[in-house]
Chains A and B, each alone.
Chain A
Amino acid sequence: MAGKTLYDKLWDDHVVHTEDDGSCLIYIDRQLLHEVTSPQAFEGLRLSGRHPWRIARNLAVADHNIPTTDRANGIADPVSRLQVETLESNCKEFGITEFHMSDIRQGIVHVVGPEQGATLPGMTVVCGDSHTSTHGASAALAFGIGTSEVEHALATQCLVQKKAKNMLIKVNGKAGPGVTAKDIVLAIIGKIGTAGGTGYTIEFGGEAIRALSMEGRMTVCNMAIEAGARAGLIACDETTMDFYHGRPYAPKGDDWNMAVRYWQKLHSDADAKFDKVVEFNAADIKPQVSWGTSPEMVLPVDANVPDPAQEADPVKRQGIERALQYMGLQAGQKITDIRLDKVFIGSCTNSRIEDLRAAAAVVKGRKKADSVKQVLIVPGSGLIKQQAEAEGLDKIFTAANFEWREPGCSMCLAMNADRLEAGEHCASTSNRNFEGRQGYGGRTHLVSPAMAAAAAIAGHFVNIAEEGA
């Protein structure tokens, strides 16, 4: 019998019941809740007179539309305030733990989960947010769900799911200087496309993935959804266990030892069969910059923006034309000639301590270009903010005329006051460059934290691999 993939193992461990048609009732170990996708789920529970199946398996935090400036005066926008207050009252009513806006543990839900040890290896993790794939970095089966599924998981601790296919993306060899987890995952999406992983769970493996820290692994799994896969996975190893040891919600004492014995099995067997395998050579990957309105529209920083005239496929040609028009770019222009109006370093993709350190290392002793109107640094959680301040990173940023903010989603999706104006170009460490994502008419370029920081200083994109920055 062929061995099992990591995904097979996680799946088999959580099947409660199998229907005749192969769909399964899957047990959910952890649900994370936030203010945007939960109100209608709680409303549904109330309307049907149902209760959460296991209250303690839920953890809530408001992140999407809370202000990242001074919070003493609360939330100015009445609609945002209503959502945040609704989460609070729902959690109170149903007895669910919530990290309040004033709690140091508050932050972006996908940053907070692993940071607290609330999402652990071997778990099934769901959240009403597509970037739940982030938690797969710790060999947890984690995927985003819609609001009716949020209600379903609350009421039954289960979800009805069909098993996806297995894909392995192997990144061989060592990544060069200036090439981060973000560049690796952008290069992957650039190659396989935004629908390349549709119907699959993607396991990321190979030397370059193994060499990543947990933070880097989260960046990679975070963007699995941008490649079309609901879930991304990375096998459990020493890096994983070291990360979780001593976290508030992680097992302790004998439980820890027992958990570790189980977690050590959380990798694909050597003879496991994947439905699809795609290989990359890490040494070929350069720092990446997205130029268009889809994450697959991405190129190495030393490349030129594509020319639609060179594209034979009419659908693709039209796509390029439309993207260039929206982005206000000329066919064939150098990526390093794109001038930036704003820079955003944050989001569940790149707002962890390692990301802030990488940005600070580039910025140290330098200043924001005058042509750049605003640079926002938004840590992923209150604890990360505290850590960064203890290391003096905030001083490096403010000395460079960057703005040091409170944790939240912020300009990743511009639901709070942080947003782009129409036509503005932004170097952003977030995960989506769709039309209007960072503000109506805004033009997003996805990059790594170091690339974003370097662009803030130069006023345009620079190849940090060459600068040696």
Chain B
Amino acid sequence: MRAFTTLTALVAPLDRANIDTDAIIPKQFLKSIRRAGFGPYLFDEWRYLDHGEPEMDCTNRPLNQEFVLNKPQYKGAQILLTRENFGCGSSREHAPWALEDYGFRAIIAPSFADIFFNNCFKNGILPIVLPAESVDRLFNEMADGYQLTIDLQAQTITTPSGQNIGFSVDENRRHRLLNGLDDIALSLQHADKIKAYEAERAKRAPWLFKEA
């Protein structure tokens, strides 16, 4: 997994609440058995005027010019600024995969849906929760070429005017993200504890351990 330390990047504002995972990546793309390549289909129904299908070549599809990510000034944005309850809906990890594949590395919102929030950390995306007033202020400050600097170690966001906004990320997740650590390897460090738990549990609930 890619480590996240500091990032200075262009911000794209997506001013909508309750953006669900169906909007982030429509369900027809879930049929893929791959992990990469979802970026071109991110927000597919909003981004294009036609109907997208997996494996479709997106280079000549008609764009919805009204949609914010299609505006030239937000090309190359790596930070997404949005509203509350981002990522609600299904547990599909294709949503963070698509965001990551598109190039987003951080998402700022007043709140996130639980499963989506978890999935971000597992895919090297930093979801940042800020109070609604701070998010409002960032939306209001948005101007052409608006960039933010995010420092995960210091847990600060620096605005173009040099103002610092603090945020907090749970210690364990921060450590993993800062070092790009693989979750499974970390858990397998506790293999002895897992085995000890199973031995003890087998006494309490033997029926669970009578497997073929």
Contact = CB atoms under 8 A, between A and B. Distances in A.
Interface string A9-33: 0000000110111010101010000
Contact of B111 (A37, A79, A198, A315): A198
B100 interface: no
Contacts of A294: 18
Contacts of A147: 93
B122 interface: yes
B31 A23 contact: no
Contacts of B27: 413-415, 436-437
A27 B194 contact: yes
B31 A434 contact: no
The size class of the interface chain B forms with chain A is 35 or more
Contact of A258 (B23, B31, B90, B206): B206
A413 B191 CA distance: 39
A146 B30 CA distance: 13
Interface stretch (B138-146, B159-167, B181-189): B181-189
A53 B28 CA distance: 32
Interface string B11-51: 00000011010110011101111110000000001000001
A415 B32 CA distance: 12
Contact of A148 (B54, B183, B198): B183
Nearest to B212: A56
B204 interface: yes
Interface stretch (A151-159, A213-221, A300-308, A329-337): A151-159
A79 B197 contact: no
Nearest to A156: B187
Interface stretch (A80-88, A181-189, A268-276, A365-373): A80-88
Interface residues of A, number: 70
Contact of A39 (B33, B111, B187): B33
Interface in B95-121: 96, 111, 113-115, 118-119
Interface string A164-208: 000000000000000000000000000000110011000000000
B88 A255 contact: no
A39 B206 CA distance: 31
Given A148-B183, A258-B207, A319-B17, A415 B92 contact: no
A76 B186 CA distance: 42
17 contacts: A21-B172, A37-B92, A39-B33, A40-B33, A40-B35, A43-B35, A64-B30, A82-B31, A130-B89, A148-B183, A155-B188, A156-B184, A158-B194, A160-B183, A160-B187, A194-B88, A262-B205
